[in-house]
Structure 1
Amino acid sequence: MSIDTDPAPRTSPFRAGIPELFAVIGRHDLPASVVVFLVALPLSLGIAVASGAPVAAGLIAAVVGGVVAGLLGGSAVQVSGPTASLTVVVAESVHQFGWTATCFITAGAGVLQILFGSSRVARAALAITPVVVHAMLAGIGVIIALQQVHVLLGGNSLSSSFASIVALPNQLMSVHRGDLAVGVVVIVILIAWKFVPLPVRVVPGPLVAVVFATVLSLVLPTHVERIVLNGSLLDSIGLPTIPSGSWSAVAVTMLTIALIASVESLLSAVAVDKSRPDKPTNFDRELIGQGSANVVSGLLGGLPVAAVIVRSITNAHAGAQTRAATVLHGIWVLVFAVALAGLVQQVPKAALAGLLILIGVQLVKLAHIRLARRNGELYVYLATVLGVVFLNLLQGMVIGLLLSFALLLWRVVRVTIIAEPVAGERRWVVTIDGTCTFLAMPKLTAELAKVASGAEVTIEMTVDFLDHATYQLITDWTTQHESDGGIVEFVEIGSARMAGAEAGPPERGHSRQVIDEAIGPWRRTGIREDPIAAGIAAYHRGHAHLMRPHLDGLRHRPDADTFFLTCADARIVPNVITNSGPGDLFTVRNVGNLVPAGGSDVSVEAALIYALEKLDVRAVVVCGHSGCGAMEALHREVRTGCGLGDWLEHARPSLDRFRLGHPVADAAAFAGFTEVDQLGMVNVALQLERLYAHPVVRYGIEERGVAVSGLFFDIATARVIEVTVDGIAEFDDAGSRVAAEPV
């Protein structure tokens, strides 16, 4: 999926005409906008209170996020507004610079986001390791919960997490019961809301919780702290002021807001795209839209905005089809804030505190902790969380990124080096696996020092990078060991080789090189001088040591699992197409993969009896193939010499059955095979009939449950097809058979 394309699909309602567009808006977007508005309203109020900003700033940000980001952003269904992830940094900015200067910083962060989008670096923001993002959000959640628990208990939020923890015992000793009751009611309703019947859950849980808590606070016989809204929303609009003090601190805060808002918006877009793949996001345009919204919000006196995944997913699931749903939700917030400002002032602070505490707790996800532990990144997660909670957001992220980079570096340059003697032999094996750099020299020196002087040594190198320092160390050690009477043999499987270490600057090898070497001999188009000798040398250099332990165990066990009869054609490699190894197949090959009737061929008869009676094979297989020369000669009735002609007479019944019509031929024709290949499959089916009728095979079936099966290898597609006496079937990736039935 390209992220640089227009997010509107080709069937977009925007291209369908004005009447159709209004029909889509009325049917889908209008209801979705109301749902998102009901979700966004209490969250916007709560985030403003938690940030230490005017309450109206949250409403302004919700309006601007809906209208500006909705119109200019790169997603058709993503919803923007004030977000919990920016609460901490905004609260620190308000404390350090004041509210109006924070608005200036918000506008500046928006300019940075526009520059990010214009320079097309959106994808770079997604390169931040997920464990740091998850830990950052968890740390923000912990901070929000620690601060808001004081508000829930009737106090005020404190400026730092450490202060919140220290002051918590005193706050517990002076609990205001009215605020506590209201906040607990909100938490209980939100937790229980997912258990109510689905039709009732159409109404957002946060709205129900806040409304119920507000009504409860009006009837409680005790005082409850409420939101203070100084004037109307329009009265709260004002231009920002230029911060005074350290401009480096201003720049850091500005960059922090821009980065967090950008990363959260892009991560939200990724999640939304997964649920609505028909409406992909243009990531660069999304950053421009988010930046524009932050510029406008800052200039009007609003909080910073970002795309919020909860609202965006809600919008998508509510059926939104166009940007109209996002824009309309912002308009509904504006109408509510202007016409019903008095209702906002009835909302208890403790109700919003309960809402925010639950949001904060939900940012700490057990799934993320389990994922970090499973990936070996738990300490990165914990260090980032602690840094965010007890230092600040930016320092916590830097700590997490540095630790992640250190972990990545350690994993990339890590190399396994083991030197050990072979039991019962005066031979040592030195295994070097991984990225071999100068950082591995201490360990490499220590392991090589273990090798007995004068011993025969095999150095197995599965290395993807080899620098000059380690190459020189290995070379010098080899020279010294051989001068002491020892023998050193190199087996190089990895993509970085000793022979190329001095050819130029060290480079990471490519796995494609290893693949090319493995299948290179198959690609010969001309005749090389003594190709067998060259192949044997390559085998000894690259793979003999891998085969040695397995073959050594087979020295006194000449049994096999399967009798495998196939054509003499050199393109058929039985162990490759059956994914088997030495000792698995008892293979017999002849022209046309034939089982002569009545035991008239001593070679096939002897092999079959030996496999079933002496080796006790559990399966008998006959395998044909596409483009078979024997079948083509049989089909065209080409005159051949007496030896080949006499042999092909054993296949004459296959040609007769093919011409009379055979269900295997019909199925093969339906699958698109040529007549020669259809004949080849019919030939396999007839060999199966002969095998079933053979006394030794029949005895094996009855007494030991020997399986008899037919295969056909299609060389052009490298597919293996099962052939029975009356049909064919293909194997899917899971190994299941899919029958091919003629029309």
Structure 2
Amino acid sequence: MNGASASPSLGRRLRSLLPNAADYRGFRRNWKGDLLAGVTVGIVALPLALAFGVSSGAGAASGLVTAIVAGAVAAVFGGSNVQVSGPTGAMVVVLAPIIAAHGLGALAAVGLLAGVIVLVAGMLRLGRAVALIPWPVIEGFSLGIAVIIFLQQVPALLGVPAAAGESAVIGAIHALGEASWPGALWTIGAVTIVATIMLAAPRIHPLVPGPIIAIAIVTIIAVAAGAPVATIGALPHGLPAPALPALDPASLRTLLPPALTVAALAAIESLLSARVAASMADTGEVDADRELVGQGLASIASALFGGMPATGAIARTAVNVRSGAHSRVAAIVHALALLAIVLVGTALVAAIPLAALAGVLMVTATRMVAPSTVRAVLRSSRQDALVFVVTAVVTVSVDLITAVLVGVAFTGLLALRNLARSSGVHREELPGAAEPGDERIALFRLDGALFFGAAERMLERIAALRDVDVVILRMSQLQLLDATGAQVVTELIRALERRGITVLVKGVQSRHLELVRRVGVIDSLRHRKHLFDSLDAAAEHARSHVRRAALR
């Protein structure tokens, strides 16, 4: 019976991770909006795909392949109706050192392994884990990525080849020293024109494709003037044939760690992007587990066609929603629009100066974190501001995954410290009219949380008691009790009892009772009747002990 009932349940879970007719329910009502949004996002995505491909070291063609193949696969299999996927700045930051260390040939293998890891994570229902990442960590992570992307463009800004394997900070410093003047004025001029147009375009209309217009103008000027600037160069006419990357045990051991890093980033960024999209418009709920499945399949497909690992792209997804998208057809159209450009427009794309793409990424980096968001985090609390700054610094100086781990761990430690500080031990007066001998009874109320971070500090005061015959521990106000806290209570009771002090425990909550029994709190009491539900009963019992002691 158990096996029979488990099988249909497993089948339902698997079917929930696959495409279905409900994915396209809104298309009939809004087909014009979806088509227009798809074309608009395709125009926006073209320069970003080219720029991210070049910046990662994989090449412009790889960026386009990723946007097309991964964009289509993630749209069909993902868990968001409006998510747009492809190459992103965060992924570039991770991929650049991997390609520098292992060579371009390792890209497909890393992408394939990362895709499988993300796919398995989705099938294991790990999608909700992103909710555990605190807001200051997310914003610090984003700010660090923005700084890295901006600094990575400094060599292209100055017309200097970027050195493989260097950190963004070191590479930018070296480029400043190696710039050739006045030749660098050409590339600086190209970046300035692109940045000016991109910043001005939204003021004309939010949907004006500033990057495309800027790149077109800079390309025309560069070609007409014969400017001595590096260009994208020849691109293939169409998609390459799919092929499995070579993977042997030795390369698997070498590439698995970077693949895990890529997978973690792909999962985090995609789920964050999908969550942002869901908050922007009523376009349906996000299935986090299915989103991981879709992103995993997208990276696998991209790797087979020679592309990069993909993630959900927050900026392109936002453009998609603002352009009127209501179903995943818009993201599919975006991929088809890019495919059409590859099939018919590669000759024009080949002439684009690399400096123009650098300008696009520099402006994109400055928009990744709004100044208002930075101010909000810094003003929220000292602890959140500290987490934000630490996460951003570690992102720039170490790497992205380490930054997220450090940020989450740091937040956890601060939260535990706050929880420990909110806990307390308060001595109270006994209920009812005062009686002779009450000074020999100590009633303590335990507040807040009695856990590993607070137990010792909370109970030191009780352990130091002198000149009392009975201690009442009032535990009804405890909101949190863990095994360490229960063990400390057990040790405290035993220590007091050894000194001849009778301990009474009042008000153990039902949710804590099993833990209290297992750890030994009740067994450490002198008598089973020393566990009370009523404070009045506990106080009367304590007074009877004092009266008997006075008669001896």
Structure 1 gaps of 5+ residues are 15-20, 508-533, 542-743
1:115–1:449 distance in 2 versus 1, CA, 3 Å? closer
Please give the secondary structure, in 1, of the residue aligned with 2:69. helix
Contact map agreement 1:28 1:320 (CA 8 A) in 2: yes
Q: How does 1:215-226 map to 2 (within 5 A)?
A: 215-219=220-224, 222-226=227-231
| Rounded Cα–Cα distance in structure 1 between residues aligned with 2:270 and 2:346 | 29
| Percent pairwise identity | 28
What is the identity, as a one-letter code, of the residue corresponding to 1:463? L
For the pair 1:75 / 2:80, whether they are aligned, the reply is yes
What is the identity, as a one-letter code, of the residue corresponding to 2:326? Q
1:194–1:244 distance in 2 versus 1, CA, 3 Å? farther
Residue 377 (structure 2) aligns with: 371
1:450–1:50 distance in 2 versus 1, CA, 3 Å? same
| Rounded Cα–Cα distance in structure 2 between residues aligned with 1:74 and 1:499 | 42
**1:274 Cα deviation from its structure 2 partner:** 2.5
| Rounded Cα–Cα distance in structure 1 between residues aligned with 2:326 and 2:465 | 70
Larger relative helix fraction = 2
TM-score scaled to structure 1, two decimals?
A: 0.59
The match for 1:167 among 158, 162, 174 is 174
For the pair 1:399 / 2:406, whether they are aligned, the reply is yes
Residue 182 (structure 1) aligns with: 190
For the pair 1:192 / 2:218, whether they are aligned, the reply is no
Please give the secondary structure, in 2, of the residue aligned with 1:77. coil
Larger Cα-atom Rg: 1
Q: Per chain length, whose mean CA-contact separation is higher, i.e. which structure has more relative contact order (CA < 8 Å, sep 6+)?
A: 2
What is the identity, as a one-letter code, of the residue corresponding to 1:354? G
1:537–1:360 distance in 2 versus 1, CA, 3 Å? same
Contact map agreement 1:101 1:243 (CA 8 A) in 2: no
| Rounded Cα–Cα distance in structure 1 between residues aligned with 2:26 and 2:452 | 61
299-308 vs 156-165, greater mean Cα deviation: 156-165
**1:333 Cα deviation from its structure 2 partner:** 0.8
**1:312 Cα deviation from its structure 2 partner:** 1.8
| Rounded Cα–Cα distance in structure 1 between residues aligned with 2:285 and 2:262 | 25
What is the identity, as a one-letter code, of the residue corresponding to 1:436? L
1:225–1:12 distance in 2 versus 1, CA, 3 Å? same
The match for 2:25 among 7, 12, 25 is 12
Please give the secondary structure, in 2, of the residue aligned with 1:227. coil
Please give the secondary structure, in 1, of the residue aligned with 2:147. helix
Contact map agreement 2:235 2:347 (CA 8 A) in 1: no
Structure 2 gaps of 5+ residues are 1-12, 430-437, 522-532, 541-552
| Rounded Cα–Cα distance in structure 1 between residues aligned with 2:340 and 2:328 | 19
**1:482 Cα deviation from its structure 2 partner:** 8.2
Please give the secondary structure, in 2, of the residue aligned with 1:202. coil
28-37 vs 3-12, greater mean Cα deviation: 3-12
RMSD: 4.0
Residue 35 (structure 1) aligns with: 40
TM-score scaled to structure 2, two decimals?
A: 0.77
What is the identity, as a one-letter code, of the residue corresponding to 1:356? L
What is the identity, as a one-letter code, of the residue corresponding to 2:200? A
For the pair 1:475 / 2:493, whether they are aligned, the reply is yes
What is the identity, as a one-letter code, of the residue corresponding to 1:12? R
Residue 447 (structure 2) aligns with: 433
Q: How many residues are treated as equivalent by the alignment?
A: 497
**1:385 Cα deviation from its structure 2 partner:** 2.6
Contact map agreement 1:44 1:81 (CA 8 A) in 2: yes
Contact map agreement 2:417 2:453 (CA 8 A) in 1: no
**1:86 Cα deviation from its structure 2 partner:** 0.4
Contact map agreement 1:86 1:261 (CA 8 A) in 2: yes
CA deviation profile, 1:236-268 (whole Å, cap 9, x unmatched): 976644479653330112122222112222222
**1:183 Cα deviation from its structure 2 partner:** 0.7
**1:219 Cα deviation from its structure 2 partner:** 4.9
Contact map agreement 1:7 1:280 (CA 8 A) in 2: no
Q: How does 1:560-579 map to 2 (within 5 A)?
A: none
Larger relative strand fraction = 1
| Rounded Cα–Cα distance in structure 2 between residues aligned with 1:404 and 1:249 | 32
Please give the secondary structure, in 2, of the residue aligned with 1:320. coil
Residue 149 (structure 1) aligns with: 154
Residue 343 (structure 1) aligns with: 348
What is the identity, as a one-letter code, of the residue corresponding to 1:225? A
| Rounded Cα–Cα distance in structure 2 between residues aligned with 1:497 and 1:125 | 28
| Rounded Cα–Cα distance in structure 1 between residues aligned with 2:424 and 2:116 | 52
Residue 302 (structure 1) aligns with: 307
262-271 vs 33-42, greater mean Cα deviation: 262-271
CA deviation profile, 1:50-88 (whole Å, cap 9, x unmatched): 101121111111111232222232333222111111002
Residue 457 (structure 2) aligns with: 443
What is the identity, as a one-letter code, of the residue corresponding to 1:301? G
| Rounded Cα–Cα distance in structure 2 between residues aligned with 1:539 and 1:448 | 18
The match for 2:328 among 319, 323, 326 is 323
Q: How does 1:84-103 map to 2 (within 5 A)?
A: 84-103=89-108
For the pair 1:120 / 2:125, whether they are aligned, the reply is yes
